[in-house]
């Protein structure tokens, strides 16, 4: 029995280790299989920047009883894929599902059947329900649909509201320290010169001045949004491809890919969701309306003491922080075509939102 438990708890090194006997043990342990075995499994596998992912098709023995999911999603993360990525981020997916396991049924996330972490080897895996057949990315095109954007921010608001000021926030990696905003601003200021040198002449002189101006003076505005009563758990990478909506048009959305989850202010998610992924005109057409819908959803879910003005101010400050997202992706040596397009979008947003007015 002990050997089996250790085998289940150890992260898989590759998809080939996801065998029918292994799945049988995992699903029995999760309570999804009460009797019988997984007889066979098919793997449909691809690779992402930091992980191997596989859609699994399961076949059960005739006497198998229980929930018996016939399709599952396996993600095996490996820090060696992106060596500069902090261990916390490599292991974040599995840590999230382990931390949230006691309340997972109350959250807009996929059902998790197994999550395992190897802290020393910096590897992990998660085994989740496969939503590919029932859900699709919220807004994958450059022309977002307003109604789908409303649907997209609803699960984010529901998740943020659930953890808003929660007594269990420390479970998710600790609360921000009072000095954290200052440390973050200093890290931006120290990293920016190297980033601008790497960009070189491909960035205009006006854009370079904006980057330098915001990095130098955004500290007080950034610190102003960190209020103890406004803290929650955020996703940390809440772009439209990480929110899945039901293909049927009814039901709840689900949020996936939790590598970057941590405790901070909610608008750190929303500025990412709305501010970086669409051309300027498309963003301007929807952002205030969608943000208002998000804020109302928070209120409807019981959040108090957080006004519309608080939300709008936090979003504008977050738009400044969006400027530095490409910089951090550069430090992680992510492919250039992943982050260069977001520079112009982030600059367009801070100008349209008059974020210079927020500087000291």
Decide if pLDDT at 8 tops 70.
no
Q: What mean pLDDT is predicted for residues 256-284?
A: 92
Is residue 5 very low, low, confident or very high in pLDDT (cuts 50, 70, 90)?
very low
Is residue 79 very low, low, confident or very high in pLDDT (cuts 50, 70, 90)?
low
Q: Which of 142, 97, 138 is nearest to 117 (CA)?
A: 97
Pair of tokens at residue 271: 């500025």
Pair of tokens at residue 18: 């996801």
pTM of the model: 0.93
Kind of pairing, strands 112-118 and 38-47? unpaired
Instruction: Measure the CA–CA gap between 335 and 328, rounded to whole angstroms.
Output: 12
**CB neighbour list of residue 203: distance below 8 Å, 6 or more residues apart:** 196, 211, 343
DSSP category for residue 138: S
Instruction: Measure the CA–CA gap between 146 and 135, rounded to whole angstroms.
Output: 18
**CB neighbour list of residue 212: distance below 8 Å, 6 or more residues apart:** 192, 196
Is residue 57 a contact partner of residue 42, using CB atoms and an 8 Å limit? yes
Classify residue 124 as exposed, middle or buried by CB count within 10 Å of its CB (0-12, 13-18, 19+): buried
The domain ranges of the chain are 2-129, 135-358
In the chain, the percentage of residues whose pLDDT exceeds 70 is 96
Alpha-carbon distances, residue 285 vs 83, 290, 291 (angstroms): 39, 10, 12
- Tens of pLDDT, residue by residue over 162-212, are 999 999 999 997 788 888 999 999 999 999 999 999 999 999 999 999 999
Alpha-carbon distances, residue 204 vs 110, 323, 327 (angstroms): 43, 15, 16
- CATH tag for 135-358 (out of 3.20.20.80, 3.30.420.140, 3.40.50.11540, 3.90.1200.10): 3.90.1200.10
Instruction: Measure the CA–CA gap between 302 and 325, rounded to whole angstroms.
Output: 31
pLDDT of residue 81: 64
In the chain, the percentage of residues whose pLDDT exceeds 90 is 76
């Amino acid at each position: 029995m002990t050997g089996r438990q250790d085998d289940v708890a150890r992260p898989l090194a590759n998809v080939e280790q996801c065998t029918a006997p292994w799945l049988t043990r995992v699903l029995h342990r999760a309570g999804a299989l009460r009797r019988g075995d997984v007889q066979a499994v098919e793997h449909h596998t691809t690779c992402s920047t930091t992980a191997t992912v596989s859609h699994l098709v399961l076949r059960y023995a005739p006497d198998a009883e229980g929930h018996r999911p016939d399709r599952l999603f396996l993600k095996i993360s490996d820090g060696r894929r992106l060596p500069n990525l902090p261990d916390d981020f490599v292991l974040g997916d599995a840590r999230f599902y382990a931390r949230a396991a006691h309340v997972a049924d109350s959250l807009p996330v996929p059902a998790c059947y197994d999550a395992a972490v190897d802290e020393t080897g910096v590897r992990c895996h998660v085994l989740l329900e496969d939503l590919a057949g029932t859900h699709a990315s919220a807004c994958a095109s450059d022309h977002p649909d307003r109604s789908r954007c409303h649907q997209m921010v609803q699960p984010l608001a529901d998740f943020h509201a659930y953890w808003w000021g929660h007594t269990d926030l420390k479970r998710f990696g600790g609360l921000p320290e009072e000095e954290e905003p200052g440390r973050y601003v200093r890290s931006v200021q120290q990293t920016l010169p190297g980033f601008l040198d790497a960009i070189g002449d491909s960035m205009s002189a006006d854009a370079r001045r904006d980057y330098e101006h915001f990095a130098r003076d955004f500290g007080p505005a950034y610190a102003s949004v960190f209020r103890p009563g406004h803290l929650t758990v955020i996703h940390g990478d809440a772009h439209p491809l990480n929110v899945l909506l039901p293909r049927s048009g009814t039901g709840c959305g689900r949020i996936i890919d939790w590598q970057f989850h941590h405790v901070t202010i909610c608008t750190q998610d929303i500025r990412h969701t709305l501010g970086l992924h669409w051309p300027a005109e498309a963003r301007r057409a929807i952002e205030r309306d969608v943000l208002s819908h998000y804020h109302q959803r928070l209120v409807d879910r019981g959040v108090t003491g957080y006004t519309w003005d608080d939300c709008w101010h936090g979003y504008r400050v977050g738009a400044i922080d969006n400027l530095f997202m490409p910089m951090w992706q550069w430090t992680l040596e992510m492919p250039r075509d992943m982050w260069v397009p977001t520079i112009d979008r982030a600059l367009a947003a801070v100008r349209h939102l008059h974020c210079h007015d927020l500087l000291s």
